Structure formats: structure tokens, C-alpha cells
Structure 1
Amino acid sequence: MRRFAFFLLLISLPSCRASDAAKTSGQVVAIQNLLTEERLSEAQSSLIQALAAQPDDAALWNLRGIIDAKLGNVPGAEEAFEKAVRLAPQLMSAWLNLGRLHQLNSGRSEAIAKGIRAYQSVLRIEPTNAEAHHQLALFLEWKGAFRESLEHLDRLPPQDRIRRQAMALRCADEAALGNTKVALRLADDLMRDSQLQEADVIAVLPAISANEGVALRLLEGLESRGLASDQTKSSLAVLYERQGKLTSARNKYELIFRSSPASATLTDLARVAWKQKDFESTLSYLAHARDLAPDDAGIHFFFALTCNEMRLPVEARKSIEKALALAPENPYYNYAMGVMLLQWAEKDGAVPFLKRYVSAQPSDPRGHLALAAAYFGTSHNDDARRELAGIMGTSQARAGSQYLLGRIAAQEGDVTGAIAHFKQVVTLEPNSSDAHAQLADLLFGKEDLEGARRETAASLALDPDNYAANRTLLRLYRIAKDPRLKSQTERLKTLVEQNDANLRLLQRTIKVQPW
């Protein structure tokens, strides 16, 4: 049961007839004493009797709200406090209790609006009330009204302005407004407070999160003072990761795991290791995480993608199949399976998985592009064109669509159309070695030797090992009787021809992220 010890028990009685006031006052004091002794059942029974006799007594309804709050009945408490302030709009204690109640639901915009209303009502009754100014500043910060929040902090008595909770709130407001120098100074002052508690900082972190410099100063300060819990250390690790400080992030996650081993932390470590391209460590973290949480489909999914990155198709297939067994309807797992089958040149097998993804995520152009590639690989060119028709105008898939249309046109003997498509690709993606190589091959077939030389040179400048470009270069050397023909012939033998699955421009577009 949640306890609400912070609710006021000293009630300001509304004006009423003298005899009624005396009677009500005695009842209130008796119930207050029961509440002080935590005799909630007796207090509730006494209150029910009192309300039966005085149903329109605001002080009694205020007590009713306190009892409901102590019993964890938040909706009942809100209803009681609201009735109290309707009956006696000047009953400040009920407004304060109402504000405190809404503070418990600060994640809801409706609760924030109600909390603001409650504390504004207090200030209409008592304009200098310090609690109301501070709490209203807090609610306004939650609302994102940072300047208004600062205005109420400025109205606090001098001794209250330097309290650590008020300083933390001011630091957050200044940080959110982009006043980083002021916020950093306040953060340093806060860190020097001998009474500082972790909760003082955690309460304002959401408002500070966009100002990474201030957030970093506060989180590192908590850790240096030995006040950081694992959750705070995790927030610091996330911030390091977001800033690209991957080694620091990884070290922090390692510390967290040593103090509290959990599969989620191992997954965090795997994600950072992946970003560092340390795939062996990624697999090691995920294998450990899989032991701790064998039924977590996300871990098997991540493991599969890592195996695929390391060219371990057997292990990758086992893991993605396990992920799909645990979550067969997950669209991203189906997408990953389809894309991996494309890469493994199993295009027939890829089609049903990619169809499921397209059905579940029809607005994602990557799904249509991957499915079109699978159709092309199985000689269903009309189906491929149909998938491409709706995505050619999207920036994410425009180059990939033109590439695939060029491949289709070339396969069907439409060399002129294929050249037009690949010219669009090299305009959209000038750094695509494959697109330049395909265009060079087509221009060579049209006996445009100058164009073929130009595109071959562009392709090889981007990727000296591009098989198609090296093959075209060999043909150009042969026609020109170039003395380098022999060495180019030997070079071509050392290169492994890429099959249709290795359409790298398409792969980049339809890439699967493990998180």
C-alpha cells in the first residue's frame, strides 16, 4: 500500500455557523488523531459517520481525500479533494493536497494541468505561499514552460531559493532554455551541496536531457560523489553512447553488469560492441544474455544479425528461426529473415517472409524494395515492377528502385532503358561502385568505349575490387591491345564474382538494424 504521509492534517476550516463549526472541529481533531496514529480503519469509520451528519462540510471531505490517498485510492482522493474545494474554494489545505496528489501522476498531461490549477488557486488565496511557488515551478517545468517556471522560483523567499531542490529546478530550466553557462554553474553549485541526494537530480533530468553538456555534468557529478545508482549509471552510459563515446559507454555498462547481472545490460553491451564493429564481443555478450533469457526473441534476433555480419549463415539461420518461433508475427523478424535469404541467394525462400513484412508495414519502402529484389531474383519481373511502382518517388528507395529497374531492363534486353535507369542511379548515388560498373558494362555493349572507360574508372576509384568493373576493364584492354591485358587477366582470376544477392546498393537501402 502506498503511503501519503505528506498530506496536510492541519485543516483550515471553512466559515460556518458557530455551533456547526464547533461540532465539526471536534470531529476533525478526533479523526486527525486517528490518522496520526495510522489507525486508518477507525478514522474511516468515524469519517463516514461525520459525513452522514455533515455531508456538505469541506473540512470532512478534505479528510476523506487524505484517508483515500493513504489507502492508495487515488481516484477517490481526487474526487474528495475536488468536492472540498467546490464546497469551500478558499480552503487552501485542500488545494495543496490536490496539487500533491496530481504530482504523483506527473507523466500525464491532464494531471500536470490539474496540478497547475491547484497551485495557482493556492496563490490566489495566499500570493506568497512558498510551497505553491516551488511546486508550480515544478509543474510548469514538466509542461515545458521553462520561463514561467523560473518566474515562480524567483518569487521564493531567499532562503528557499538556495535549497538544493530549487537549485536543481532552476538548473533544469536554464538548461532547457539553452542557457548552458548558467546551468553548468548551477550544476557545479548543486554538486557541492553536502546534503545532495540522487533524487534531487533525477527529478529534473527529463527537462535537461536535450542539453547533453549539463546532463553529463550532473550525472558524472553524482557518480564522482558516490551517489549514482545503477539506473543513473545506465543513464550516463546512454549519454556516452549517444555522444559517440563508445569505450566510456561500454565501460559503464560493464560496471553495471558486474553489480547487477541482467540480460538487458548484456544487450546494451552487445549494441555498443556492434557499433564498435567488435562483432566477436557482440556474439559473446549475446550468448551470455541468451543463457540468462532463453525465451527473449530479441536476443536471438540480434544474435542472428551478428552471425550474418560475420558470414556465419548456419548460426544466423538457427537464431533467426528461433526468434521467429518465439514471435512469428513480428514484422521485423520476418523482414530480417527475408533479407538474409536474399543475401544467401535463396530468393524463393525470401518471398513469403518479405510478403508478411509488406503486409504488416505497407508504408515502409524498404519492404517493397526487398520484395522486388526477391521477385527479380526469381524471374518474376512484372511482380518486381509492381512493388517498385509505389516507392520510386520516395527518397529512401529512389536509387535502389532505379538500380533494380536497370537490372530488369538489362535482363530483358532493353539496353537503352537500362542505361537510362543506371544514369539516374549514378546521379542519385554517385558513390555507388556497382551502379557505375553496371553502366560501364552496358555502354561497352553499345560500343560507347569512352563512356565505358569513364564509368569503369569511376567504379574502380570507389572500389578497386569490383568484379564487374574489372571485367569491363579487361574487355577494354583486349580491344585496345593494351600491354596490361595479361596482368588484368590474372587480377580478375583473384577476384570472386559477386552473385545477384550481393547488390550492395540495395543491401544498404534494405539493411536490418539489430535494435
Structure 2
Amino acid sequence: MSAKQQLYACICSVVALVALLVSCGKDPASKLDLSVVSIPATDDADLRRFLARLDSQAKADPSSATNRGRLAMAYDANGFSEAAVATYAQAASLDPREMRWPYLQALANSQQGNIESAVQLMEQAIRLDPTYLPSYLAKGYWLLDLGRHQEACENFRTSETVKSTSQFKLPLVLGLIQCHFELGDDEQARQLLAELPNSDLPPYALQVRDRVLRTRQNERVEIPMLNQTNSKPLSWSDPVAGAVVEFTRGLSGESLLAQKLIDGSRAADGLPLIRSLRSQYPAEAHLLELHSAALVELDRHAEAIEVLETGIGEFKGEHLLHFNLGLLYVTAQRTDEALRQFDRTLAIEPSFVQAYDAKATLLINQNANQAARETLEASLKLRSPDAETHYLLGVLFGGEGEWLQSIDHFTQAIELRPDSASAHASLALSLSEMGRIEDAFAAIQSARKLAPNDPTVQRAVETLVANDVLEAF
């Protein structure tokens, strides 16, 4: 290579290096499109006007993080989650030192199910303000949901060093209990139970406590993640997120707010809002469902039933009113009336699979197994493949001694959910009844490998041994 070529190559290398350094030094947020997000479509005139005003303010001063953040909060408060996430990101780009924007963006991401992104954004918020305890609580429970138990423990322990008040003690201690339990440190989890209040625990806390206590009887049961349980989620004081409520407008936004109040164990606060909405929008059937749900949360079940009984007379053909009324009748042990409401639900909306499930469960509890089977089989024609439905059908067929059908449904349940220890154990019992001993042995071994201490698995093993089908393990 000539001296001239060497010099040219050297210059090119330097230019490339400088370009690389410049590129690496750029803030990734600088590449973010800062064009104001288009207003989502809505039929609510009041909400349209409100969003248009905030949109105009954001466009009038496109460098204002505050205006952009206010627009994001309006989108967030009124259920436009995608627009909210994008606009929060813009606000964070315009003011990278403000923790509110990544914090609220993290919460919005979590509501969309984007938990990994939510964790990353919350870490950014914590770096900007390491004293705000709700950041640690949200991040900790998301880490638990992701199965990152060690990180969750470290996060909760770090949050203990942040100055806090008694209102945060329950979610903090409960988070520590759960992460220790998931890491297999049952003894530490049980010791932490002593720090929980003796009364007034929310349903999720009761679930966690009961599962930890059951380890004493060698009945280890997995704790459901917060987003996988039917219990109300935990809540704690959060002024930053609470400020979003002020941007609620119109029927859709205020309905969403009412639902959040109910879900956050604040039904008493939501009830006046719901009554006001019912007065303003008497033709909206879903407000009756909200009204009833708030009354149920306040243990005013008779009033909740009355609201829906009135509603089904006013709103003909609203299947959800009939369905929810049926559920309330179940709670009130008014079984025949519940079945009639579930049947009415299906007459109006034959593809509503939740009604099939509710009806089948009620029939099983009444030992009406044939009717329950027919109900579940009808639901299979309408729903996507469902492991739980096949499992229940396997149990029902097995209870009637119809082993081939039982085996078929358990097998399908396992194909859909291979980690179901109960399905493997139940399959083993059905196979043994057909004399397929080797297959039964393989099935029970799979069950024991998945969950050796699961009560269903243990009972299956005991049954197989007692019947001399298998040698004692």
C-alpha cells in the first residue's frame, strides 16, 4: 500500500471512529418522533373538546414537557392507553429529569401487559427520584409476575431503606413474603407473616398467607401472581398516579375511574360518581353493572341484586346484566334463579362462554354431572381450546366410570397445558382403571416430577398404591 493510500485509510478510520463516538453519545430519546399524537376517535363530545384543548396547547408549545405530559395524562385517564404511552415517552424526552413521565409510562405499559418495559421504565423513574416508595412497590410486584424472585427480594429490601409510613407496610411485607416463598425459603416467609395485621387483610393477602401456612402440612401451593388472581389487586397511596384522575372527562373516562375506584377497594368513593353518571346517562346499561359491583364490594349484596333485577326489566337483551345477576344469585344461594339467569344469558348471547362455565360449576356443585357435562361440551364448540374445560370433563366422565372419554379429555388438557400436575395425576387414575399400568405409571411419575407435594398428586399416588396397582413409592 502506498503512503497516500495509507494516509487515506487512516483518515477514513478516524472519520469512522468519530462518527461512532458521536452516534454512541447521542441520547436514544433524541430519535423519538416528537410529533403530537393524533387524538383517538371518541363519540363523547365533552371528552373530544377536552382532548382538543390539551392537544392545541401541546402543539402551541411543542417543547413543553408539561403540556405534553398533561395530554398524556388525559389519554391515560380516559382509556387511550397506546396514545398515553407514546405521549408519556415524548414528555420524558422533552424533560429527561422529571420522574413523573417514565413513572406514569411504566404504569401505562403494565396496564397493557408490557411488564418487561414497565420494569425498565420504573428503574429509570427510581434513578430520577430514589425516595418515592410506590416506585419500588410497583417494580417489586412486576418482578414477581416475571418470575424474577431474587431481584424482587432485593428491590423490596432496598425499599425498606426509604422513609415510609404505615400505609406501605402491608404491600411491602407481603411482597417480601411472596419472594421468599417463591425462592423456597418457607421458614423466612412464615416468620414475616407475624408482621401482617391480624384482621382486615385484603383477599390477595389472605391467599398468600394461607398458602404459606399450608407448607407446614407439606402442601406447598404456588401463589398466584397479582395479575393472575381473581382477588382484588393490592393498592397503596400514590399521589403521582392519583393526579391522573383529574384529567378524567366524559362517560367513558368517568366510568373507567369508577371501575378503578372499585378495584382499588374504594367503592364508597366510587358510588356517588356512579349514581351521578346514571342520572346523566340513563340509557347506559353498563352503569348498572358498575353500580352493582360497587355495592357488592361494600357487602350490600341485597341492594346489588335489586339494582340488576330492576336493570333487566329496563334493558331487554343485555346479556351481561343477566349473567351478573346469576352470579349474585349464586352468592345468595338462590340456585334455581341463578340457573335461569345463566340460561337467559345464553339465550341472548349463545357464544358467551363464561355463562357456560358458571352454569357448569353450579351444576357440578349440585351433583348434576350429566347436565354439567352437556354444558361444558357445548362450550367447547364455541371457545378456543381450553385445558381447564377438558380437565373438568375428564373428571366428570371419570366419575361416571366412562374411562375412555375421561382419558381423552385428560390427554387433551395435558396437550394444552403440559405443566398441569393435576391432569397428569388424574390421567394416571383413569389409565389404571383401563388396566394400562405402564401408562399409568408414566403419568403419575410426570405428576410427581411436576408437583410432588400437590394434594391431588398425593391422593392419586395413595389410591394407586391402595389398589395394588403400583408398588409403594
User: TM-score normalized by structure 2?
Assistant: 0.48
Higher relative contact order (CA 8 A, sep 6+): 2
User: TM-score normalized by structure 1?
Assistant: 0.45
Q: Which has the larger radius of gyration?
A: 1
